[in-house]
């Protein structure tokens, strides 16, 4: 019995810790003391005949739109939650092993991020997938809490802090005070919907079919949340829908602004709804401190300016906005006792 207890203490002492930002488009793994050790697309390539997993991460993303009929490259996460349990588990196992390297004989303690609007069933699925992928203990914490921690916000103060975490699948908006969420919403409209809107616009306006990667490149290179005076332009290549032959067209920033305006309105509506639910005292704090924006899609040009125009509340892009959730997982792992109240599920 004593030997068993000693073994358990030894395992606990040497058990590595991993924070995983399990996103719809990208997965980041944070190791305390080392920082972000892995940043790869949440994409898996699967053989349609044998259901065998052929590639994961960057290698799989390269295959999107370029595979024969027998191979499917797709994202097992949809709108921030697990859409394909088996493939997500395999993806997690691959990333955990890759992040641990030579330490992979010890099972790690893992914190995984989940959207603010996640259901108990979806939360349980994430915990089970992490445990089956090789975690010793698995915790899940809502993304706005982790984003706030990663952005350096003192969430345990009796003051209101507002976070808008805009990722690939969801925008998570929350008002945080005394370490907990006071008001929040999670809307399934974010970076991927912007990409789809751009692809639809190019198809409708130019009879040109483009892939997801090209649409994403357009968003990053010339996209903007508000019209600009000095437009950027980009030449894009695709397949003409009438002739079936390859063709190029040139598009500008303000055209993209119009193409994604409906999706941006939906995101702004999510922020306004949370502001309307916020108690007056906390609303006063938010006016003083502004809305902190995190997540990859928050880097869209002039997005904070659009938020200010539509809400009247200043918005600020956090330092290292795409990495705030991942950093938050690392800090929470190092101070697990402090953040246990926020850890809404564990095993």
So what's the pLDDT on residue 7?
44
Q: Give 175 or 342, the one with higher predicted confidence.
A: 175
The full set of domains in the chain, from first to last, is 2-146+325-346 (3.30.420.40), 153-318 (3.30.420.40)
Q: How far apart are CA 134 and CA 16, in angstroms?
A: 12
Residue 342 pLDDT: 59
The whole-chain average pLDDT of the chain stands at: 88
pLDDT at 343 (0 to 100): 58
Considering all CA atoms of the chain, what is the largest pairwise distance in Å, rounded to the nearest integer? 77
Res 346: pLDDT:
46
**pTM recorded for the entire structure:** 0.87
pLDDT > 60? residue 134: yes
Interatomic CA distance for residues 140 and 128, integer angstroms: 11
Q: 33-81 pLDDT, tens per residue? A: 889 999 999 889 888 878 888 888 888 888 777 778 788 887 888 877 7
- Please give the pLDDT value at position 61: 83
The mean per-residue pLDDT over the stretch 116-130 comes to 88
Q: What is the mean pLDDT of residues 283-311?
A: 96
> 197-236, pLDDT tens digit by residue?
999 999 999 999 998 889 999 999 999 999 999 999 999 9
User: Which of these, 80, 301, 260, 270, lies nearest to 162 by C-alpha position?
Assistant: 270
**Mean pLDDT computed over 86-96:** 89
pLDDT tens track for 319-336 = 999 999 999 998 988 877
């Amino acid at each position: 019995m004593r030997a068993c207890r000693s073994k358990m203490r030894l395992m606990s002492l040497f058990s590595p810790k991993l924070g995983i930002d399990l996103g719809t488009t990208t997965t980041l793994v944070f190791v305390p003391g080392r920082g972000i050790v892995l940043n790869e697309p949440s994409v898996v390539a699967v053989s349609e005949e044998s259901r065998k997993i052929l590639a994961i991460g960057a290698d799989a993303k390269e295959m999107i739109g370029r595979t024969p009929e027998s191979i499917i490259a797709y994202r097992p996460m949809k709108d921030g939650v697990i859409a394909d349990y088996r493939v997500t588990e395999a993806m997690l196992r691959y990333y955990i092993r890759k992040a641990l390297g030579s330490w992979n004989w010890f099972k790690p303690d893992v914190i995984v991020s989940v959207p603010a609007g996640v259901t108990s069933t979806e939360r349980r699925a994430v915990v089970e997938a992490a445990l089956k992928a090789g975690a010793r203990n698995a915790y899940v914490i809502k993304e706005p809490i982790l984003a706030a921690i990663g952005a350096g916000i003192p969430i345990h103060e009796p003051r209101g802090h507002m976070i808008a975490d805009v990722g690939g699948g969801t925008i998570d908006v929350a008002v945080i005070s005394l370490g907990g969420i006071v008001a929040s919403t999670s809307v399934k409209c974010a970076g991927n919907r912007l990409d789809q809107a751009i692809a639809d616009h190019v198809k409708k306006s130019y009879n040109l079919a483009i892939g997801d990667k090209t649409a994403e490149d357009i968003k990053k290179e010339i996209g903007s949340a508000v019209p600009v005076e000095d437009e950027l332009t980009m030449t894009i290549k695709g397949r003409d829908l009438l002739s079936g032959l390859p063709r190029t067209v040139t598009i500008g920033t303000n055209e993209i602004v119009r193409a994604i305006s409906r999706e941006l309105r939906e995101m702004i509506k999510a922020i306004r709804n949370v502001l309307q639910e916020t108690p007056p005292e906390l609303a006063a704090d938010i006016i003083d401190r502004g809305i902190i924006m995190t997540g990859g899609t928050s880097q869209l040009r002039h997005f904070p300016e659009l938020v200010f125009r539509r809400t009247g509340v200043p918005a600020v892009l956090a330092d290292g906005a795409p990495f705030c959730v991942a950093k938050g997982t690392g800090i929470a792992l190092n101070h697990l006792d402090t953040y246990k109240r926020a850890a809404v599920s564990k095993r």
